Chain A
Amino acid sequence: EDQVTQSPEALRLQEGESSSLNCSYTVSGLRGLFWYRQDPGKGPEFLFTLYSAGEEKEKERLKATLTKKESFLHITAPKPEDSATYLCAACSGSARQLTFGSGTQLTVLP
């Protein structure tokens, strides 16, 4: 059974304090690892797709990396507007075979 575990469940940072979110996955034949951002009361918004170990993607203050067992979302010098829940999902085939983690709730304090 495919499993995705995210840690920590919640993270509070001071503005400018860099950190990383973890996404551990157990998937039979990874076809893609996806990161989403979700604001309170809203639907998730797609951020990144990673396909193979060693791959990295960047967008503003966010950088996603992938190994054979984990993905990390690095947040450099975060701002309060980066506060959100970050979800990761692993795909073992079609989009129907997408397994989501429970998310990390990030709060960036001014």
Chain B
Amino acid sequence: DGGITQSPKYLFRKEGQNVTLSCEQNLNHDAMYWYRQDPGQGLRLIYYSQIVNDFQKGDIAEGYSVSREKKESFPLTVTSAQKNPTAFYLCASTPENTGELFFGEGSRLTVL
């Protein structure tokens, strides 16, 4: 079945460490997105990519980095520069540039 796979589902990190969250899709979608979800807040856009080898900052990109070397893959690195990284991270894709997003199951990052 086609879909978006995020891994790991749960991740614990010590302060000062970088961690990378994986996002893979087999839907053949061009556009991919990373969102952050915190309790009581709406989803906030971190980075997005509309084509291979190109990506743009979203509303809260500071302390994060991404790459898009393959159409299927859009990994997110949470760097030590991110001040409050504990959150639920969601990867999404869309076949066209619309709001009908397909989401992965999310990765929950906890900083110890």
- A residues sitting closer than 8 Å to B (CB atoms) are 4, 9, 31-32, 34, 41-46, 49, 87, 89, 91, 94-96, 98-103
Contacts and interface: CB of A to CB of B under 8 A. Distances in A.
Contacts of A46: 100-102
A34 B100 contact: yes
- The interface centre, meaning the residue of B40, B94, B101, B104 with most chain A CB atoms within 10 A of its CB, is B101
Interface of B: 4, 6, 31, 33, 40-45, 48, 56, 58, 90, 92, 94, 97-106, 108
Contact of B43 (A31, A87, A96): A87
Contacts of B4: 43
A96 B101 contact: no
B99 A41 contact: no
Contacts of A94: 97
A91 B103 contact: no
